[in-house]
Amino acid sequence: MEKMPMEIPDHIVKIMQTLGAAGHEAFVAGGAVRDSLLGIDPHDWDVTTSARPEEGADILKKAGFHVVEDLGKNFGVITCVADGIPVEIATFRGERYGADPHRPEEVWYCDNIEDDLSRRDFTVNAMAMDLSGRIIDPYGGQKDLERKVIRTVGDPKRRYGEDALRMYRACRFVAQLGFSYEEDGTGDGPFGEEGTPYYLPVRYRFDVSGCRELSLERVRGELEKILTADHAGKGLMMLLASGLASSSCRVRENGEDTYIDVLPELEHLPGLPQNPNFHCYEVWEHILAAVDGGTKELIVRWALLLHDVAKGLPGIRCMNERTGYPSDFGHEKESARMAEKILTRLRYPQDFVRRAVWLVSQHMHFVPMLVTGRTDIRKWVRKEAVSGLFRTEKELADAYRQLAAVFAGDMGATWSGLKNDDAAQKGRALARRVIDFAAQKMPVHTSDLEISGGDIEKMLPDGDKSATGSLLKYLLARVQTGNLPNEKEKLLSAVQKKIKKDIETEE
Residue range 472-485, pLDDT digits in tens: 888 888 988 888 88
* pLDDT value at 3 more than 60: no
CB atoms within 10 A of CB 200: 21
The Cα-based distances of 232 to 241, 301, 302, 304, 477 in angstroms read 14, 9, 11, 11, 43
Please enumerate in sequence order all residues whose Cβ is within 8 A of that of 371, keeping only pairs 6 or more positions apart, or say none. Answer: none
| Residues facing 95 on adjacent strands | 107
Of 247, 486, 499, 291, give the one whose Cα is nearest residue 405. Answer: 291
- At 203 the three-state DSSP class reads strand
Instruction: State the amino acid at position 11 in one-letter form.
Output: H
- At 486 the three-state DSSP class reads coil
β 85-91/46-49 pair status: parallel
β 180-181/77-82 pair status: unpaired
Which residue did the predictor score with more confidence, 279 or 259? 259
Of 440, 437, 465, give the one whose Cα is nearest residue 452. Answer: 465
H/E/C letters for each residue in 398-419? Answer: HHHHHHHHHHHHHHHCCHHHHH
Q: What is the pLDDT of residues 71-124, one digit of tens each?
A: 555 578 899 999 999 999 999 987 766 666 556 666 779 889 999 999 999 999
Q: What angle in degrees, to the nearest 10, is found between the helix axes of 216-227 and 232-241? A: 130
| Residues facing 253 on adjacent strands | 256
Which residue did the predictor score with more confidence, 331 or 486? 331
Q: Percent of the chain scored above 70 by pLDDT?
A: 92
| Residues facing 129 on adjacent strands | 28, 135
Contact 123, 140 (CB under 8 A): yes
Of 214, 211, 263, give the one whose Cα is nearest residue 237. Answer: 263
Contact 114, 144 (CB under 8 A): no
Q: What is the pLDDT of residues 152-163, one digit of tens each?
A: 999 999 999 999
Q: What angle in degrees, to the nearest 10, is found between the helix axes of 468-481 and 377-385? A: 150
Cα 282 to the center of its chain, rounded Å = 23
Contact 249, 237 (CB under 8 A): no
Of 2, 52, 24, 42, give the one whose Cα is nearest residue 131. Answer: 24
The pLDDT of 126-132, averaged and rounded, is: 95
Supply the pLDDT for residue 98.
61
Please enumerate in sequence order all residues whose Cβ is within 8 A of that of 468, keeping only pairs 6 or more positions apart, or say none. Answer: 453, 456, 457, 460
Contact 47, 15 (CB under 8 A): yes
Q: Is 177 exposed, middle or buried (0-12, 13-18, 19+ CB in 10 A)?
A: buried
Q: What is the pLDDT of residues 204-231, one digit of tens each?
A: 999 999 999 999 999 999 999 999 999 9
Which residue did the predictor score with more confidence, 71 or 392? 392
DSSP state of 300: H
User: Where residue 338 falls among pLDDT bands split at 50, 70, 90?
Assistant: very high
User: Where residue 43 falls among pLDDT bands split at 50, 70, 90?
Assistant: confident
Contact 266, 309 (CB under 8 A): yes
Supply the pLDDT for residue 111.
86
Average pLDDT along the chain: 90
Between vectors from CA 353 to CA 349 and to CA 355, what angle results, nearest 5°?
Answer: 120
Cα 104 from Cα 190, distance rounded (Å): 36
Cα 409 from Cα 186, distance rounded (Å): 35
* pLDDT value at 195 more than 70: yes
Contact 79, 71 (CB under 8 A): yes
Cα 167 from Cα 156, distance rounded (Å): 9
Contact 259, 242 (CB under 8 A): no
Question: Is CATH 3.40.50.300 correct for 1-147?
Answer: no
Cα 282 from Cα 289, distance rounded (Å): 11
Sign of CA dihedral 409, 415, 416, 417: positive
β 104-109/128-129 pair status: unpaired
User: Where residue 415 falls among pLDDT bands split at 50, 70, 90?
Assistant: confident
Cα 72 from Cα 181, distance rounded (Å): 32
